[in-house]
Amino acid sequence: MGLININMFLIGILSISHRTDGYFEQLIDQCRFISKDLQDMEFIRSEVFNQVEIIRFNSTVGEFVGYTEYGFSIAKRMNSDTAYLAAIQAERDSVCKPNAWNHYRSIMDKTVKPTLRLRSVTPPSDRHPAMLICSAYSFYPKPISVSWLRDGHEIKSDVISTEELADRDWYYQIHSHLEYTPKSGEKISCMVEHISLPEPMVYDWDPSMPESERNKIAIGASGLVLGAIIALAGLVYYKKKSAGVLP
């Protein structure tokens, strides 16, 4: 039975179990590491009998250690076989490091930037007249920080955030709500920090009207300008014409 257990610190590369007549034996190999350069990589092989670990090889120690009376005798025998010890010690570099490197390359190193959306909604209570929701969508991995700024300073009160919600497709989303009382001239921003972003992403809230309204006004204004130009042209033409007719 093979087991791949993905963890920042531990890859259980192999776990072999064997059960006969009520006896249960396991052989567990682990690659343990924290630093990304894998310098601290440790290879551990444990032999477990009826849930009791009897011997353990630890690559940092370089030999087997026994934990039960039977374990002591096996450890002693195995430690006297230098070729066998060297072969187990080599697994740290031949098995653990390539496996860990593969995990970094295929999973742990992957990051996806969030897509941000900032919108205004009706507040649920009447403590404050305004409420904003800052949403971050489709990011990976899970850890993220969403905060609110007023003129560059963090707002701590009246902020409610959801947990990071799993989209079930490896991506996550999160929503943060801010209830506030708008003041003229202030700048409210939503700031998102995530491993995929070299710098925090800051989104300023634009309190003016929504884009559709702005577009309507822009179309109306263009019509007005066009109308004014035509009217002016007509007036100039009329003036010229009437000036020409005069004696």
Q: Which residues bind ligand NAG (CB under 6 A)?
A: 42, 44, 58, 60-61
Backbone φ and ψ for 92, nearest 5 degrees, come out as -55, -45
Q: Strand, coil or helix: what is 132?
A: strand
Residue 67 CB, nearest approach to ligand NAG (Å)? 11
Q: Which is nearer to ligand NAG, 30 or 147 (CB)?
A: 30
Contact (CB, 8 A) for 201 and 192: yes
Q: Which is nearer to ligand NAG, 44 or 188 (CB)?
A: 44
Q: Strand, coil or helix: what is 45?
A: strand
Tokens 């059960």, residue located? 19
Q: Which is nearer to ligand NAG, 55 or 178 (CB)?
A: 55
Q: Helices (DSSP H) in 38-89: which residue ranges?
A: 69-79, 82-89
Q: Which is nearer to ligand NAG, 8 or 225 (CB)?
A: 8
Residue 12 CB, nearest approach to ligand NAG (Å)? 12
Residue 87 CB, nearest approach to ligand NAG (Å)? 19
Residue 30 CB, nearest approach to ligand NAG (Å)? 7
Residue 46 CB, nearest approach to ligand NAG (Å)? 9
CA 247 to the chain's CA centroid: 84
Q: Cα–Cα distance between 114 and 194 in angstroms, integer? A: 8
Q: Which is nearer to ligand NAG, 25 or 42 (CB)?
A: 42
Cis peptide before 141 (omega within 30 of 0): yes
Q: Which is nearer to ligand NAG, 97 or 142 (CB)?
A: 97
Contact (CB, 8 A) for 25 and 48: yes
Residue 33 CB, nearest approach to ligand NAG (Å)? 11
Q: Cα–Cα distance between 90 and 92 in angstroms, integer? A: 5
One-letter identity of residue 76? K
Q: Which is nearer to ligand NAG, 9 or 237 (CB)?
A: 9
Residue 58 CB, nearest approach to ligand NAG (Å)? 4
Characterize 105-125 residue by residue with b for buried, 16 or more Cβ atoms within 10 angstroms of its Cβ, and e for exposed: eeeeeeeeebebebeeeebee
Backbone φ and ψ for 82, nearest 5 degrees, come out as -65, -30
